[in-house]
Structure 1
Amino acid sequence: MMKNIQRFRKTKTNELAGMSKHALMMRMYKEMFKLLDKCEYVMKNRTQYTISEFFSVKSKCLGKVISISSYLADTTDMSADQEVGELFVKMYSHIYVNASEANHKIDIDSVIRAKNMSMKLMDIWASIPDSSRY
């Protein structure tokens, strides 16, 4: 089993090592979206899960979204354009606040707000011209 874990870590590390910074950011945005989508599904279909399963899935998904959005807000590069950087931090904070609220209050509307913002982030990031990507 330990060999499988080590192989998985090497594969993940190698897979990420070849990605551009732009592609890595998009991957984080897609991961947040996927997790929020899963959480929305679980909340809409709550009766199909045991209480333990529901809370496990909800807390894992939202916990990861909270971690990713916090990391993104903390590491946003403000050196190129302060105003644009601040806008991204506001978007990350919006996701963070709504994911936290959804986790605390079990509020599907907060999940949907966070999911919508993650979708907007993907759209904005995808619209950056190739010549401006790093």
Structure 2
Amino acid sequence: MHLAHDPTAAPAPQINFDQFLAVDIRVGTIVAAEPYPEARKPSLKLTIDFGPAIGTKRSSAQIATLYEPAALIGRQVAGVVNFPPRQIGKFMSEVLALGFPDEHGNVVLFAPDRRVPNGARLF
């Protein structure tokens, strides 16, 4: 099991507040979702609206086991918006949609429990 998926793993080394602030985590609304059958792990291609300052970005997310594309439209999610784009097969993923593993290692998306403006930054 990957360390990040192990709830019994020790915490990561301490970082300072400036290091935390360097990771730009924003909320966005999923405006499109489609299957990505070419991915090695069950994945979906997401298009997420992060508001006027960041715009609409795409993400390849390993969430196809728990989520149907149509059910994701309009849902808010958290994502890291300042990683460099990453090629995932033939797809360019621009943001990292965030989630936590369930008891089987499937990704459960991380989202605010109330609606907030797209582009709002985690602090």
TM superposition score category, shorter chain reference: under 0.3
Higher helix share: 1
- Higher Cα Rg, which structure: 1
TM-score by length of 2: 0.25
